[in-house]
Structure 1
Amino acid sequence: MQAPNSEENLVEALGECGIRELSNFDEFLKSLFAVAVSPESDDTLREVALDGVMEFVKLGKGGKFQSMIYQRFLQAIVYSPSGIDVVVETLVSNFFNYIDVRYFTYITLEKLVRTLDSRDIKDTNNTHQDSENKSKLSNLEFAIHKIHYILSHIPPLETKEGQSDYQMWSELGLSSKETDGKQSKEGDQENRPKKSNSDIAKKMKLKFTKAWLSFLRLSLPLDVYKEVLVTLHQIVIPHLSSPIMLCDFLTRSYDVGGVTSVMALSSLYILMTQHGLEYPNFYEKLYALLEPSIFMAKHRAKFFELLDSCLKSPLLPAYLAAAFTKKLSRLSLVVPPSGALVVIAIIHNLLRRHPSINFLVQQQNDETDGDSSRRENENSESVKESDACTDISTAKPGIDMFNSEETNPAKSNAMRSSLWEIDTLRHHYCPAVSRFVASLENDLTVRAKTTEITVKDFSSASYATIFRAEIGRRIKQVPLAFYKASPASLFSESDFPGWSFKLDDSENEESGNGNNGLLTKSVEADEKSTKRQRIEC
């Protein structure tokens, strides 16, 4: 009767030993996590703790990846109060080259993102928050910064050369069950690795997509939000399973306006041109971005390149091409010389691509009343749409019909204007601008004799680059302050029509006689003073 009791006691004793060992191991892991994420620990000690944790991840469950330990470790890193430190950088540099580590990193980060209370971030500007809410909010922002840093530094499965690295950190790879099942199947052994690699690639892309979409649903801090928009078209869109799923995020960002729209334009342009996204108000939003401040923005070079690409389609309506051309020409009056060079380059390409708007170059706005009335009779339908503007133009010839304050390009009246602003750039104070504007004098409708200008060569220009280019130029004829004929006036009459800067003959004679009298008196006075000095001596 005592034997069963002894066996039961033995089982209970072994169970207690196992529980005690598990609890001790759990406490040991917590100690390693604390040492690894503590900012007070030495950097070398933190790296040793990181290596120890990753060894447990590798050797757990008989060679299978111990995902539970790894998830707890990443959670300790993300929720630690310290910033992005040596542990995160070491984890990225030493372990993210293994595909199973990347795979479970995506899974863990997706779970962590779901647990974040992102709604608290919207209250960052609330002045009535207490200290606890502010500290909680700062911890959430720290966590979002760390998640973004880890996500953006995970290398893609395929490199730029199209090669893939399927090196595993654990012995059994992503799943031991899938490996056992594949080993039991019959088939060609040479085809198994390719099939396995393709399955891994599909799984990696799926986990990558879920992790990034979950992260983008958060209310991101402003600095993280801008950084995401800048790099989204390079590190996220090419590796998503379905990039069109970003359309809501990108259209909301594009509707914000200002610099945010400029940063979202690159990714939105890729979705429109490569993935069939239809955005009806795209050109209206793009037209609204043409402000003087855009020429001083940080990402202006990429914006002007995309602007030129968006206006490249030959199916663009004439009124839309004319509106962009006229808006850019108006901005050339107030932008720096580097901005004027970009404007001339884009207008050159627009006039060459769209011959239907070349009338803007030769159209005259200073027509007489008879000409304007005759045009009214010929185009009565167009006149009825804008009676007020027509009355102004007939009453005061030379009025520019273009409305620069209008945000809708269809209502800007660009088709009834001309590029008189570009003509003023011929007398620009910067020699580079005045020389470059001469390219618009060619007949751009003959495409065989002209070529498009690469906007990229001018989009990143500045005062410094223009100055260095002017210094490096070889000047054949040095300009000097020399007049072949003595100037008769300070300004030429062509600069100010209707004004005269020459004196009358009677005024010249009076002024001349007066000057001669003064000169003779001063000479006589000088002679008398010299004679007195000689006598005294």
Structure 2
Amino acid sequence: MASILEKKQKKKEKYTLKELKTLGHQLLSSREHINNLPLLLSFISSSSPPQHALESLLSLSSFFTPLLPQVCSSAKYSLSSSKDDPEFIYRTWLKSKFDDFVNSLIHVSLSPQSEDTLRDIVLDTIMEFVKTANAGNFHSAIYHRFLHGIVYSEHPVHMLLDLLASNYFTYISMEKLAGTLEAKEISESSIEKLHHILSHIPSFEDADKKDDAEMWSMLEFSFGKKEDLQKESMQSEAEVKKNKKEKSKKNMLNAKKMKLKFTKAWISFLRLPLPIDVYKEVLVTLHQAVIPHLSNPIIDFLTRSYDIGGVISVMALSSLFILMTQYGLEYPNFYEKLYALLVPSIFMAKHRAKFFELLDSCLKSPLLPAYLAAAFTKKLSRLALSVPPSGALIIIALIHNLLRRHPSINHLVHQEYGCAATEDDTKEERKLVGDEDEADCSGISTSSNKPGFDHFNNEETDPVKTKAMKSSLWEIDTLRHHYCPPVSRFVLSLENDLKVEAEVAVKDFSSASYATIFRDEIGRRVKQVPLAFYKATPTSLFSESDFPGWTFKCEDISEEHNHNSTKRQRMECS
């Protein structure tokens, strides 16, 4: 095999640039020199000298361009012609050589060995064939082959990805391409390239602002001609207005069809087994760049992502929230899944700011049952004991808003006994839970009604069964003595403002961290500086008044110390 390639390479080297020009002129002048076509085609390669490849490309492009309508219509011609017809044989052979020419161009454009100048000309030639090969209409078959080669390429092709991202016809091939990928072994690089192309295609709103985008967005895939401009200049004003109305209706129809193709492309892509990095990138931008332009919301993908748990569920919450609020999606287990996301690690997650803002929005509905609002309030207050100070600030803001929105759970602020505040909501909760044993609040003293007993079950995953309505927010009371001053100050300020109807903006605290808290503290103006001084030098770390019943005998400690030092000296002397 290697010897054959070497022979072909030597044959190529025999031809000079002048001889290649002569072969091209002969091919363009007469059909008698049609055998020059395979010879010129052999120079369209990344291994050929750039000047030789460029000269062959120009000759073959000039040869095929006027014949494209015949070459592309050879399939229709074959239906009305016999296989023995010389014209049919010639067209079939010409079609196969054109396919080889396109494949060679795609190979050169993807090869890292190709020079930039040659690659630019090759790309222009491919896109010119795409525009004109189908009698002035878009040729999706050539474009699909080009896109297929880019996605399956083993080499980085960022420049080509950017080129395709500016092309609205990519949606047409994307659905078909994603289907072929789904049936084969998929590499992560191929999926990453597909995502890069899909995520960088301009939105439909920008189509009217750019001439190129408007040209590529026409659904009929027809391109403007000078004759149309001349006819428009000769029309009357009434005809121009009529044409504008027809054009606007046509554009609206095109927009609907393009939206459908956009939806099919994304749905086909989201069915692929996405790598975790691509998965996260998709969820980050899905609610802003994709969902508003879909004709059918991608409910299955989002609900499946929301059920995964962890960071993936947090990132899917934004898109799922949009579907529930704007598209009327019913998701029965939504609050149960949301309750499961309240774990200490969520306060260190990368996208925690957006999550807590959405959490505050999800709990804003006045139709939220009291027992469910109490479960979230109690879960957050329990988390306040184990999260960083920044997380405690967020929790205090969320709980303050919940108490303001749902007055029926205000008894949680101070409830000493479990059955002290059992109203209609707690009765409903007991019915849902099936708790018949503790439903008796007639005054019988049980172990669960003793002071200091918390009915709340923090390990329960179902918010209905947590018995939060029988508990109290004693955890928030402990934050009044928090070691971080901003936390204790925030709790005290909200205690004073509990009767105020204004809610707290969670977004002001959702991005807090140790760094932001420290920066705010050192920037505060302190009116009075606390000083610690003693009239007499202290003899112990703690005074006896701090610990009633305890006695600190410093003399015994010193005597024991002296005894041990004397014993150590004796041992050293011996």
Regarding TM over 0.5, the answer is yes
2:200 counterpart residue number? 153
1:410 counterpart residue number? 464
CA contact (8 A) 2:138 2:222 kept: no
2:292 counterpart residue number? 238
The CA deviation at 1:270 is: 0.7
Q: Residues of 1 paired with 2:202 and 2:489: CA distance?
A: 47
| Matching of residues 325-404 of structure 1 within 5 Å | 325-365=377-417, 384-386=436-438, 391-394=446-449, 397-404=451-458
- Secondary structure in 2 aligned to 1:474? coil
| Matching of residues 152-231 of structure 1 within 5 Å | 152-159=199-206, 165=210, 167=212, 173-175=218-220, 188-231=242-285
The CA deviation at 1:61 is: 2.9
Q: Which one of 306, 310, 313 corresponds to residue 254 of structure 1? A: 306
1:71 counterpart residue number? 144
| Matching of residues 52-67 of structure 1 within 5 Å | 52-67=125-140
1:455-514 deviation per Cα after TM superposition (whole angstroms, max 9, x unaligned): 111111111111111121122222332369999985689987xx53466xxx79x98xx9
Q: Which one of 102, 114, 139 corresponds to residue 29 of structure 1? A: 102
Would the alpha carbon gap of residues 480 and 388 (structure 1) be closer, same or farther in structure 2, given more than 3 Å must change? farther
Matched residue count:
455
The CA deviation at 1:274 is: 0.8
Matched, 1:471 2:516: no
Worse overlay, 167-176 or 311-320: 167-176
Would the alpha carbon gap of residues 492 and 305 (structure 1) be closer, same or farther in structure 2, given more than 3 Å must change? farther
The CA deviation at 1:300 is: 0.7
Paired residue type of 1:111: K
2:113 counterpart residue number? 40
2:336 counterpart residue number? 284
- Secondary structure in 2 aligned to 1:53? helix
Would the alpha carbon gap of residues 43 and 63 (structure 1) be closer, same or farther in structure 2, given more than 3 Å must change? same
**RMSD, aligned CA:** 3.8
The CA deviation at 1:339 is: 0.6
Would the alpha carbon gap of residues 48 and 437 (structure 1) be closer, same or farther in structure 2, given more than 3 Å must change? farther
Q: Residues of 1 paired with 2:221 and 2:485: CA distance?
A: 71
CA contact (8 A) 2:164 2:197 kept: no
Q: Residues of 2 paired with 1:352 and 1:485: CA distance?
A: 51
CA contact (8 A) 1:292 1:335 kept: yes
Paired residue type of 1:53: I
Matched, 1:51 2:106: no
Q: Which one of 99, 103, 116 corresponds to residue 181 of structure 2? A: 116
| Matching of residues 76-115 of structure 1 within 5 Å | 76-92=149-165, 96=166, 101-102=167-168, 104-115=169-180
CA contact (8 A) 2:380 2:395 kept: yes
The CA deviation at 1:419 is: 1.0
Q: Residues of 1 paired with 2:473 and 2:420: CA distance?
A: 23
1:128 counterpart residue number? none
CA contact (8 A) 1:489 1:502 kept: no
CA contact (8 A) 1:57 1:66 kept: yes
Q: Which one of 142, 148, 165 corresponds to residue 189 of structure 2? A: 142
1:167-226 deviation per Cα after TM superposition (whole angstroms, max 9, x unaligned): 46869953279999x99xx99223112111111111110100111111122222222222
Paired residue type of 1:399: F
Would the alpha carbon gap of residues 425 and 47 (structure 1) be closer, same or farther in structure 2, given more than 3 Å must change? farther
Would the alpha carbon gap of residues 190 and 502 (structure 1) be closer, same or farther in structure 2, given more than 3 Å must change? same
Would the alpha carbon gap of residues 486 and 400 (structure 1) be closer, same or farther in structure 2, given more than 3 Å must change? farther
Q: Residues of 2 paired with 1:312 and 1:224: CA distance?
A: 32
Q: Residues of 2 paired with 1:301 and 1:221: CA distance?
A: 24
CA contact (8 A) 1:64 1:172 kept: no
- Secondary structure in 1 aligned to 2:330? coil
Q: Residues of 2 paired with 1:20 and 1:380: CA distance?
A: 84
Worse overlay, 279-288 or 472-481: 472-481
2:353 counterpart residue number? 301
1:231-263 deviation per Cα after TM superposition (whole angstroms, max 9, x unaligned): 2111111001122xx222211211111111111
Would the alpha carbon gap of residues 217 and 495 (structure 1) be closer, same or farther in structure 2, given more than 3 Å must change? farther
Q: Residues of 1 paired with 2:217 and 2:401: CA distance?
A: 58
| Matching of residues 485-496 of structure 1 within 5 Å | none
Paired residue type of 1:38: S
1:457 counterpart residue number? 508
1:535 counterpart residue number? none
Worse overlay, 105-114 or 166-175: 166-175
Higher relative contact order (CA 8 A, sep 6+): 1
Q: Residues of 1 paired with 2:311 and 2:193: CA distance?
A: 24
Would the alpha carbon gap of residues 341 and 446 (structure 1) be closer, same or farther in structure 2, given more than 3 Å must change? closer
Paired residue type of 1:146: K
Q: Residues of 2 paired with 1:328 and 1:418: CA distance?
A: 12
Q: Residues of 2 paired with 1:242 and 1:330: CA distance?
A: 40
1:9-60 deviation per Cα after TM superposition (whole angstroms, max 9, x unaligned): xx96655554454333322211110011123334444333222211222232
1:322 counterpart residue number? 374
1:351-404 deviation per Cα after TM superposition (whole angstroms, max 9, x unaligned): 111111111112125x9xxxx8999xxx9997843389984334x531222111
Q: Residues of 1 paired with 2:451 and 2:142: CA distance?
A: 80
Paired residue type of 2:198: L
Would the alpha carbon gap of residues 494 and 263 (structure 1) be closer, same or farther in structure 2, given more than 3 Å must change? farther
CA contact (8 A) 1:205 1:239 kept: yes
1:112-155 deviation per Cα after TM superposition (whole angstroms, max 9, x unaligned): 1111235x6xxxxxxxxxxxxxxx543xx322221111111111
Q: Which one of 452, 474, 478 corresponds to residue 424 of structure 1? A: 478
- Secondary structure in 2 aligned to 1:188? helix
Worse overlay, 276-285 or 187-196: 187-196
Would the alpha carbon gap of residues 402 and 169 (structure 1) be closer, same or farther in structure 2, given more than 3 Å must change? closer
Paired residue type of 1:363: Q
CA contact (8 A) 1:65 1:174 kept: no
The CA deviation at 1:87 is: 1.7
Q: Residues of 2 paired with 1:315 and 1:373: CA distance?
A: 24
Q: Residues of 1 paired with 2:322 and 2:133: CA distance?
A: 43
The CA deviation at 1:90 is: 3.5
CA contact (8 A) 2:421 2:470 kept: no
The CA deviation at 1:430 is: 1.3
2:27 counterpart residue number? none
1:63-113 deviation per Cα after TM superposition (whole angstroms, max 9, x unaligned): 222222111111111111224532212433xxx1xxxx41x2111011111
Q: Residues of 1 paired with 2:513 and 2:440: CA distance?
A: 42
